[in-house]
């Protein structure tokens, strides 16, 4: 399913094209995805100006404001909220010659224009676990309240991770995946971050020391940053085909490598054995680690 790096890559793609554009038309082919779509509220966004495209956790937020010509008291800032669910794909086509035919499982499209360009934002989602909603700036949105730190925010740091895991018996990998604490760390990234930090993923969170907490923060950020970097080169596959989008192609050090030698210690000539990567199941999720170098 699309994870934080995929959503961040879509955001980075949309932002320069859409910032400053006017939403000129919204076409909805259904009135629900995972949740009902507030059709009246979505259509009320037509005519507004896009001020920014942001990401919060795995939600895309297209910020809008009234046109400068509209009296300021008419309506304030709001945002279109888009979630890709399990199989959603959101992409932009600029200056299409004709409106392209609707694809199978394409549920909505939005037309946006600037003085120079006309953009078509399209959304396709075979399993319909995605979402389209409107966020009013003055009202906390139910999907956004209670979300934990962003991995690239300074508030996510070793001191915070260490302090918030004291007395927590849960496995550190499970803690990292708890979106009420920290967003954006899916199952694959959690295993990879623990490997990079040389921390055993099943270690009780309370036993993670202060230095290991620092390493975990670096590990989480590095694995996500590399996935985002890889995303630029695989975005075409992500949006282009009819297959479900998957994780960006990225070198994985432990995930899916059960029985294979560890990339860090597996070819150590003094090790004497292959130090294979171990696969276990933690809370129903495949979890990989090196039994030799992760403590």
| 282 and 201 Cβ atoms separated by less than 8 Å | yes
- H or E element that contains 113: strand 106-113
Give min distance, CB of 253 to Zn ion, in A. Answer: 9
Give min distance, CB of 252 to Zn ion, in A. Answer: 14
Nearer to Zn ion, 231 or 266 (CB): 266
Nearer to Zn ion, 134 or 292 (CB): 292
Nearest to 20 by CA among 56, 48, 46: 48
Phi and psi at residue 112, to the nearest 5°? -135, 145
Q: Kindly report each contact of residues 243-247 with a partner whose C-beta sits within 8 Å and lies 24 or more positions away, as own/partner.
A: 244/86, 244/87, 244/126, 245/1, 245/2, 245/6, 245/84, 245/87, 245/89, 247/3, 247/5, 247/6, 247/188
Nearer to Zn ion, 93 or 268 (CB): 268
Phi and psi at residue 231, to the nearest 5°? -60, -35
Nearer to Zn ion, 235 or 262 (CB): 262
Which residue in this structure is represented by tokens 């007395």?
Answer: 167
- Which residues are CB-contacts of 204 (< 8 A; sequence separation ≥ 6)? 168, 169, 170, 171, 172
Nearer to Zn ion, 113 or 264 (CB): 264
| 291 and 195 Cβ atoms separated by less than 8 Å | no
Give min distance, CB of 295 to Zn ion, in A. Answer: 10
Q: Which residues are catalytic?
A: 2-3, 58, 285
Give min distance, CB of 199 to Zn ion, in A. Answer: 12
Nearer to Zn ion, 101 or 269 (CB): 269
Give min distance, CB of 292 to Zn ion, in A. Answer: 5
Classify residue 62 as exposed, middle or buried by CB count within 10 Å of its CB (0-12, 13-18, 19+): buried
Nearest to 63 by CA among 153, 71, 76, 2: 76
| 169 and 204 Cβ atoms separated by less than 8 Å | yes
Give min distance, CB of 225 to Zn ion, in A. Answer: 22
Interface residues with Zn ion (CB under 5 A)? 262, 264-265, 290, 292-293
Nearest to 68 by CA among 51, 80, 45, 44: 51
Nearest to 174 by CA among 79, 87, 284, 21: 284
């Amino acid at each position: 399913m699309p994870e934080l790096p995929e959503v961040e890559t879509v955001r980075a793609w949309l932002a320069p094209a859409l910032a400053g554009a006017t939403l000129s038309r919204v076409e909805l082919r259904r009135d629900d995805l995972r949740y009902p779509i507030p059709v009246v509220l979505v259509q009320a966004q037509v005519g507004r100006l896009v001020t920014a495209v942001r990401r919060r956790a795995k939600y895309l937020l297209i910020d809008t404001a009234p046109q400068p010509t509209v009296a300021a008291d008419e309506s304030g800032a709001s945002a279109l909220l888009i979630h890709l669910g399990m199989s959603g794909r959101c992409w932009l086509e600029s200056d299409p010659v004709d409106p392209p035919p609707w694809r199978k499982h394409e549920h909505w499209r939005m037309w946006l224009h600037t003085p120079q360009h006309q953009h078509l934002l399209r959304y396709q989602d075979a399993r319909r676990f995605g979402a389209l909603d409107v966020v009013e700036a003055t009202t906390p949105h139910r999907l956004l309240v209670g979300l934990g730190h962003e991995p690239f925010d300074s508030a996510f740091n070793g001191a915070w991770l260490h302090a918030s895991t004291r007395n927590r018996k849960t496995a550190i990998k499970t803690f990292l995946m708890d979106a009420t604490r920290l967003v954006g760390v899916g199952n694959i990234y959690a295993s990879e971050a623990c490997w990079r930090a040389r921390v055993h993923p099943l270690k009780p969170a309370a036993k993670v020391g202060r230095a290991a907490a620092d390493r975990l923060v670096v590990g989480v950020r590095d694995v996500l940053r590399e996935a985002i970097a890889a995303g630029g080169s695989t975005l075409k596959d992500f949006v282009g085909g009819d297959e479900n989008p998957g994780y960006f192609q990225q070198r994985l050090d432990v995930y899916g490598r059960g029985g294979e030698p560890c990339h860090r210690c597996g070819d150590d000539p003094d090790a004497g054995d292959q130090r294979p990567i171990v696969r276990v199941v933690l809370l129903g999720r495949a979890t990989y680690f090196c039994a030799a170098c992760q403590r």
